A and B are shown apart, each in its own frame.
Chain A
Amino acid sequence: MRTMEMREARAMVKAMRSDAGRAPEGLADAVLSEVGLVDSWTEVEGPIGPLYVAWGRDGVSAVERAGDPAGFEADYELRTGRSIRRVPEMSPKLLGQVRARLRGERTDGPPVDLASLTEFEQAVLRKTMEIPYGEVRPYSWVAREIGRPRAVRAVGSALGGNPIVFVIPCHRVVRADGRIGEYGAGGPDAKREVLACEGIDTRELERMAERGVRYVGSDTTSIYCYPSCHHARRISATHEVRFRDAAEARSAGYRPCKSCRPLEGTPFAA
Chain B
Amino acid sequence: MCADCPDRLASDLDAGFPLLVAHYQDLVYGIARRSSRRREDAEDLAQDAFVRAYRALGGYEAARIRGLRVGGWLAAMTLNLARNRARRREVPSSGLEVVVEPLDTASGPAALVEEREADTIWQRRLEALPTRFRRAVELRHVSGLSYPELAEALGRPLGTVKSDVHRGVRLLRQMVEQEQAAAEREVES
Q: State the A residues within 8 Å of B (CB).
A: 4-5, 8-9, 11-24, 27-28, 30-32, 34-35, 37-38
Instruction: List which B150-189 residues lie within 8 A (CB) of chain A.
Output: 166, 169-170, 172-173, 176
Chain B residues contacting A21 (CB-CB under 8 Å) are 26, 29-30, 33, 142-143
> How far is A224 from B51 in the complex, measured between Cα atoms in Å?
54
Nearest B residue to A38 via CB reads: B18
Q: Tell me if A27 and B173 are in contact (CB < 8 A).
A: no
Q: How many Å from the CB of B120 to the closest CB on chain A?
A: 9
Q: How many Å from the CB of B174 to the closest CB on chain A?
A: 11
Nearest B residue to A29 via CB reads: B21
Chain A residues contacting B123 (CB-CB under 8 Å) are 16
Interchain CB contact (< 8 A) of A8 among B33, B121, B172: B172
Nearest A residue to B99 via CB reads: A19
Q: How many Å from the CB of A259 to the closest CB on chain B?
A: 44
Binds A, one of B1-9, B42-50, B59-67: B42-50
Q: Tell me if B29 and A24 are in contact (CB < 8 A).
A: yes
> How far is A22 from B31 in the complex, measured between Cα atoms in Å?
10
> How far is A32 from B176 in the complex, measured between Cα atoms in Å?
42
Interchain CB contact (< 8 A) of B34 among A9, A13, A20, A38: A20
> How far is A27 from B143 in the complex, measured between Cα atoms in Å?
17
Q: Tell me if A12 and B142 are in contact (CB < 8 A).
A: yes
26 A–B contact pairs at CB < 8 A?
Answer: A4-B173, A12-B126, A12-B141, A14-B118, A15-B121, A15-B122, A16-B122, A16-B142, A19-B96, A19-B99, A19-B101, A20-B142, A21-B33, A21-B143, A23-B29, A23-B30, A24-B39, A27-B25, A28-B22, A30-B47, A31-B50, A31-B54, A32-B18, A34-B47, A34-B50, A37-B18
Chain A residues contacting B144 (CB-CB under 8 Å) are 13
> Assuming A8-B176, A23-B25, is B122 touching A37 (CB within 8 A)?
no
Chain A residues contacting B137 (CB-CB under 8 Å) are 12
Which of A8, A13, A37 counts the most B-chain CB atoms under 10 A from its CB?
A8
Number of interface residues of B (CB under 8 A): 43
> How far is A245 from B49 in the complex, measured between Cα atoms in Å?
63
Q: How many Å from the CB of B42 to the closest CB on chain A?
A: 8
Q: Tell me if B172 and A32 are in contact (CB < 8 A).
A: no
Q: Tell me if A35 and B54 are in contact (CB < 8 A).
A: yes
Q: Tell me if A12 and B18 are in contact (CB < 8 A).
A: no
Nearest B residue to A83 via CB reads: B18
> How far is A265 from B137 in the complex, measured between Cα atoms in Å?
80
> Assuming A30-B47, A34-B51, A37-B14, is B119 touching A22 (CB within 8 A)?
no
> How far is A24 from B122 in the complex, measured between Cα atoms in Å?
22
Q: Tell me if B50 and A12 are in contact (CB < 8 A).
A: no
Chain B residues contacting A19 (CB-CB under 8 Å) are 96, 99, 101, 116, 119
> How far is A12 from B54 in the complex, measured between Cα atoms in Å?
32
Q: Which 3 pairs from chain A and chain B are nearest by CB?
A: A23-B29, A23-B25, A20-B33
Instruction: List which B15-38 residues lie within 8 A (CB) of chain A.
Output: 17-18, 21-22, 25-26, 28-30, 33-34
> How far is A38 from B28 in the complex, measured between Cα atoms in Å?
20
> Assuming A5-B166, A21-B26, is B142 touching A13 (CB within 8 A)?
yes
Q: Tell me if A15 and B169 are in contact (CB < 8 A).
A: no
> How far is A38 from B96 in the complex, measured between Cα atoms in Å?
32
Q: Tell me if A17 and B142 are in contact (CB < 8 A).
A: yes
Nearest B residue to A31 via CB reads: B50
